[in-house]
Chains A and B, each alone.
Chain A
Amino acid sequence: MLDIMALLRSLPPSIAQGIIWGIMAIGVYITFKILDFADLTVDGSLALGGSVAVMLILNGMPPGVALIFATAAGLVAGLVTGILHTLLGIPDILAGILSQIALYSINMNIMGKSNAAISVDNYHLVVSLRYINAAIIIGLIFLAAIVCILYWFFGTELGYTIRATGCNEAMSRAQGINTNTAKIIGLALSNGLVGLSGGLIAQYQGYSDVNMGRGAIVIGLAAVIIGEVIGDALLGKRLNFAGRLTFAAIGAVIYYMVITFVLWLGLPSQDMKLFSAIVVALFLAVPYLRSKSVSSFKKAARKGASS
């Protein structure tokens, strides 16, 4: 028997979780959508943010300040991927994978083991699943601040260089933009947000784990794509940049609500990642298939045969 009350009870936690992961989704939006760079660093930098935050808190740092360091750590991770790609000429996906793999060892070293716990009983954590409502509000404050800052940043001259680089590198260089620098800044910014998100996730769940970021990129992509589809459906052309960022975060919330729902329906949790991968593959394929339905070889062949 499916228990409706259980589903309703699990909604607020999934919203809180979605909002905190939404910060990571905005990071993924920056690389995937603005910079047109498939950055797999994310899985590593998320766990990096978590590990750094937890270890600093365990060593007496205020949890809020620890988030600054989690952000900075993520930033450095993005910087490294950017340097691997631009200065050393390693293809984007591979550069991200290298950082991600390296970060596994780094995170193990930071924690000294594969995971580390912090109890909300002993520390004034910024967010915790013990206090869901507070976590939702604080998460929303973080999101609002991030959307405002990014909206400003991508409206500046420097922000323009990153948008232009993601869109057309030849044009950017012809207009005097150092595309390498633009990519590095974009990657650092993105992974900084992912690190921050990791720091918040670790506090929310009360521990960090070297594997906490596994598959994060898929969740990020799912959030970005779901957010885009829904944003376009609801607002279409009126959707501005701040709106698009917000919808990436909303996409994360919806993602976690869907996850909660299918778990409630009885999907074994071990199949969750398979489910996520299928969802992302479908959403990525839809625009392609739609354009093909407008013009495809099969269709052309049919038309030719009938006339």
Chain B
Amino acid sequence: MLEIRDIHKTFNKGTINEKVALRGVSLRLEDGDFCTVIGGNGAGKSTMLNAVAGVWPVDEGRIFIDDVDVTGLPEFKRAKYLGRVFQDPMTGTAATMELRENLALALRRGQRRTLKWGITKAEKERFIRALETFDLGLETRSSIKVGMLSGGQRQAVTLLMATLKRPRLLLLDEHTAALDPKTAQKVLELSDKIIEEENLTAMMVTHNMRDAINHGNRLIMMNEGQIVLDISGEEKKNLTVEDLLQKFEDVSGEEFSNDSALLSKN
């Protein structure tokens, strides 16, 4: 469960670059909710996810994960509740470390790191089995340096890292945006499958309206640092891209500018 209570965030306060990114965002996700997040550029989608992840402290408001108040916890301490996949495929993995070493790092998220071996024999086996389920041909290459992998493969690995140890909340920030359409589809399917199988609570930012409609049980739209639309249940099931575009125009007074969203209407 995630509860965001009226959070505010302004970047570069008091300078000419001052930017109000979040102005009073509140949101409650129940266990098993899969919420997609849409909105124009600079609407505050990433900022909301980063606020939850604790990349920096919020100015106002509180954040609870499973009733634990995490508002005051730094990023590395919140990590034990979270699985994250980023837009840039380079961000989620350590390129100079082996694939299985990356997975071993992720498996210990939220644990104290001691002088025990960083990876055990049993884990190596386990990782190979986990990679098999991903069906990317990586199961035979678990000792390869992650830097040798393609963007799509790295993103899939990051997804595996995020979910290897069951997170209380999975945060996906346009995690398929940097991939070619086919790979993006594959990574998106993988995400869906994992969220479904593990019954995870998840938030997924996307620029693709169709994806936002087709995935998850809830959809929110952000504009200028606020949640301006919150749709769930039957209403979401019946939603069309046209509806969404119309709603976007209504709230923002401008046309949705993202080509990929328009192109993916059909």
Contacts and interface: CB of A to CB of B under 8 A. Distances in A.
Nearest to A163: B97
A161 B108 CA distance: 10
Contacts of A173: 75-76, 79
A155 interface: yes
Task: Give chain B's interface residue range (CB within 8 Å of chain A).
Answer: 20 to 34
A151 interface: no
Contacts of A99: none
A168 B91 contact: yes
A164 B76 contact: no
B76 A157 contact: no
A158 B114 contact: yes
A167 B114 contact: no
| Chain B facing A: main interface SS | loop
Contact of A158 (B53, B75, B104, B115): B115
Interface in A140-192: 153, 155-161, 163-164, 166-168, 170-179
Q: Which of B93, B96, B119 has the most CB of A within 10 A?
A: B96
Contacts of A170: 86, 91
B161 A160 contact: no
A168 B106 CA distance: 13
B118 A171 contact: no
B175 to A, nearest CB: 13
B137 interface: no
Given A156-B117, A160-B113, A176 B77 contact: yes
A175 B106 contact: yes
Contacts of B86: 170
Given A173-B76, A174-B75, A174-B79, A157 B113 contact: yes
Given A167-B94, A168-B91, A159 B76 contact: no
A167 B95 contact: yes
A157 B116 contact: yes
A167 B97 contact: yes
Interface centre among B97, B114, B116, B118 (most CB of A within 10 A): B118
28 contacts: A156-B114, A156-B115, A157-B113, A157-B114, A158-B114, A160-B97, A160-B104, A160-B113, A163-B94, A163-B96, A167-B94, A167-B97, A168-B91, A170-B91, A171-B91, A171-B94, A172-B76, A172-B105, A173-B75, A174-B79, A174-B82, A175-B105, A175-B109, A175-B161, A176-B76, A176-B77, A176-B110, A177-B79
Interface of B: 53, 75-77, 79-80, 82, 84, 86, 90-97, 101, 104-106, 108-111, 113-119, 161
